[in-house]
Copies of this chain bind each other. A is one copy, B any other.
Amino acid sequence: MTKFTLHPDLARDTVFVAELDVCRVLLMNNAAFPWLILVPQVEGAYELFDLDDEEYDMVMQEVRAVAEELSALTGADKMNIAALGNVTPQLHIHVIARFAGDAAWPKPVWGNGGEPYDKDELAEMLRRMQSMFPA
C-alpha cells in the first residue's frame, strides 16, 4: 500500500471513519443518507477490474461486511452498493443505507438531495459509524 493518495473530490466530500485491510472507509457528508464510501488503497485503480485477484476478493469481502453491518446498525430498508466514478477518477464503492421515504426514495441518491451534517450531527454519526469498526 505504498503512496496511496485520496482523490481531492473524496477528501472534500467525506470524513474519515476507519481503515480496513484494503479499503479506507469514509463518511459522505450528506445528512440525508447514512452513506459510507470504501476506497481501495490501491494507487491508480479506477475500475473494479483494475484490482488483482487478491485485492478484488478482499475489497468485495470488505464491501459485504460493511454493507451488512451498516444495514443492521441503521435498520435500512435497502442497501445501495455501487461503483460509478463518472465524475471522480479514483475507484470508490458507495455503501448507502436507504429508507422508504428518505430524501431521494426510490431514486438513487446521486444528485437527489441532502445537505451537509451540522457539527453535532456529524459527531454523532461518526460515533455511530466508528462503532462498526472496533479498534
Contacts of A78 in B (CB 8 A): 46-47, 84-86
Q: Is the CB of B83 within 8 A of A71?
A: no
A87 located at the interface, meaning its Cβ lies under 8 Å from any Cβ of chain B in the complex: yes
Give the distance in Å from the alpha carbon of A84 to the alpha carbon of B84 in the complex. Answer: 12
- CB-defined contacts of A47 to chain B, threshold 8 Å: 67-68, 71, 78-79
Q: How many residues of A contact B (CB 8 A)?
A: 29
Known: A49-B71, A56-B64, A71-B47. A82 touches B84 (CB 8 A): yes
From 77 to 121 in chain A, residues with beta carbon under 8 angstroms from any chain B beta carbon are: 78-87, 98, 105-108, 110-111
Q: Which positions in A face B, CB cutoff 8 Å?
A: 46-49, 56-57, 60, 63-64, 67-68, 71, 78-87, 98, 105-108, 110-111
